[in-house]
Amino acid sequence: MTINDDILAQLEHQAIEVPSWAYGNSGTRFKVFGTPGTPRNPFEKVSDAAVVNRLTRLAPTVALHIPWDMVDSFEDLRKHAEDEGIKLGTVNSNTFQDDAYKLGSLTHSDPKIRQMAIDHHLQCIDVMDATGVEDLKIWLADGTNYPGQADIRSRQDRLAESLAAIYERLGDNQRLLLEYKFFEPAFYHTDVPDWGTSFAHTLALGEKAMVVLDTGHHAPGTNIEFIVAQLLRLGKLGAFDFNSRFYADDDLIVGAADPYQLFRIMYEVIRGGALDPASPVSFVLDQCHNIEEKIPGQIRSVINVQEMTARALLVDRTALTAAQEAGDVLGANAIFTDAFYTDVRPDLAAWRESRGLPADPVAAYAESGYQEKINAERVGGTQASWGA
């Protein structure tokens, strides 16, 4: 099995958005470790993101997080990105760090706090207008820690109203993407805990509302590729947030924990047409590089997605369908795993070189001197982080 031209043509336009916050410091509630060279502002984050794209041609856009990435002039930030060869991407809202949001934001029982959270999203849409970005991604930390603390049902009703107010403000080409998450930071109930909830709300909102599937946001044992297939079937999969996990929302490098799961997800992506450039599904990383180097961590991540996509494209779907319809359980499984076990790395390295890219982007980064340069230059100031 080899990577042929047809497969390369499908890989040609693959794009994986990187998150600006991956270049800043992150950690756990126990400790956030700092590292030399960490950006101090959104411009430096964009520069780092651009390095990933230059070495891989896989990451043409960088997601923003408001207010972490607030700047005086988004025009300047957009121009800076374009100068670096990339574009600004999805705008992510944040309703979990203001003291007002301690007990909720879009679901809060106090209409003033709800309005404050709605207004924040309208401000995010302003940023989208200013930057030409089309996607607003909403991940809500809303939830409760103790049974009885709040009324689960009323919060759903208020959520629906708040989302409708935000949806109303969207421009013609803009989308509202609603992310779900099993738990954390809320520990008893979460207001958007599963795809069903996100689906129900986006269905009620309308066609410009779609679901975000973060691969780390599920209960233990959840079959994620099933959800991918289902949401694609229902026409409601808007975006992926890629990362990997062993336990909870570990936010590790995508593919690092269970590469076979990533393969199965990418197979359903392809099966469902979401690799097609015309597909509305966007692919975004959402990871934390708590202890490993950040830029190489991002390079490794986009390559992992590319390699696993290539493996999934290797599946002989004609033979697979025949085995499936013949009820040949072992045969069908073998066709599927043959693709997974095929080592696509040499072919992809050669292809990269043919496109003027380094065969090994991680090694190329190490040799580039970029890290040493930013370590030396980025002295003083406050390193970017979540600011928890």
- Footprint of a copy of itself on 228-257 (CB under 8 A): 229-230, 232-234, 245-248, 250, 252-253, 256-257
From the list 17, 214, 225, 347, which residue makes contact with a copy of itself (rule: CB under 8 A)? 225
Nearest CA to 237 out of 277, 283, 305 is that of 283
Q: Which is nearer to a copy of itself, 9 or 219 (CB)?
A: 219
Residues 4-42: b if buried by 16+ CB within 10 A, e if exposed? eeebbebbeebbbbbbbbbbbbbbeeeebeeeebbbeeb
| Residue 32: strand pairing partners | 27
Listed in sequence order, the residues at least 6 apart from 31 whose beta carbon sits closer than 8 Å to its beta carbon are none
Supply the minimum distance, in Å, between the C-beta of residue 81 and a copy of itself: 26
Distance, in Å, from the CA atom of 165 to the CA atom of 138, rounded to the nearest integer, reads 13
Our finding on whether 340 is near a copy of itself (CB under 8 A) is: yes
Nearer to a copy of itself (CB atom), residue 252 or residue 281: 252
Nearest C-alpha neighbor of 139 from the set 259, 284, 41: 284
Which CB sits closer to a copy of itself, 126 or 194? 194
199 vs 242, beta carbon nearer a copy of itself: 199
Q: Which is nearer to a copy of itself, 43 or 182 (CB)?
A: 182
Phi, psi of 370 (to 5 degrees): -60, -45
Q: Which is nearer to a copy of itself, 170 or 266 (CB)?
A: 266
If one counts every other C-beta atom within 10 angstroms of the C-beta of residue 382, the result is 9
Distance CA 125, CA 175 (A): 10
43/260 with CB nearer a copy of itself:
260
Chain-centroid distance of CA 146 in Å reads 30
Which parts of 86-105 interact with a copy of itself (CB under 8 A)?
Answer: 96-97, 99, 102-103
For residue 210, the 8-state DSSP code is: E
The residue assigned the tokens 């992506």 is 269
Contact pattern from residue 136 through residue 155 relative to a copy of itself, giving x for each residue in contact according to CB under 8 A and a dash for the rest: -----x---xxxxxxxxx--
- Number of residues lying near a copy of itself (CB under 8 A): 103
The footprint of a copy of itself on residues 190-219 (CB under 8 A) is 190, 193-197, 199-200, 218-219
Rounded to the nearest whole angstrom, what is the least distance from the CB of residue 355 to a copy of itself in the complex? 22
Choice between 220 and 277, CB closer to a copy of itself? 220
Distance CA 208, CA 172 (A): 8
List CB contacts of 83: < 8 A, sequence separation 6 or more: none
Q: Does 358 bind a copy of itself (CB under 8 A)?
A: no
Phi and psi at residue 49, to the nearest 5°: -60, -35
Interface residue with a copy of itself, options 82, 129, 207, 343 (CB under 8 A): 343
Largest separation between any pair of C-alpha atoms in the chain: 66
Q: How far is CA 156 from the centre of its chain?
A: 25
- Is 369 a residue that touches a copy of itself (CB under 8 A)? no
Q: Is the CB of 74 or the CB of 101 nearer to a copy of itself? A: 101
Nearer CB in complex with a copy of itself: 52/170? 52
Q: How far is the CB of 126 from a copy of itself (least distance, A)?
A: 24
List alpha helices for 38-151, DSSP H: 42-56, 74-83, 111-131
Among 65-73, 116-124, 188-196, 369-377, the segment contacting a copy of itself (CB under 8 A): 188-196
Q: Are the beta carbons of 292 and 325 closer than 8 angstroms?
A: no
Q: Is 73 in the site for a copy of itself (CB under 8 A)?
A: no
The answer to the question of residue 386 lying near a copy of itself (CB under 8 A) is: yes
| Nearest distance from C-beta of residue 93 to a copy of itself, angstroms | 13
Q: Which stretch binds a copy of itself (CB under 8 A): 25-33, 36-44, 168-176, 275-283?
A: 25-33
Residue list 256-295, contact with a copy of itself (CB under 8 A): 256-261, 264, 268, 271-272, 290-293
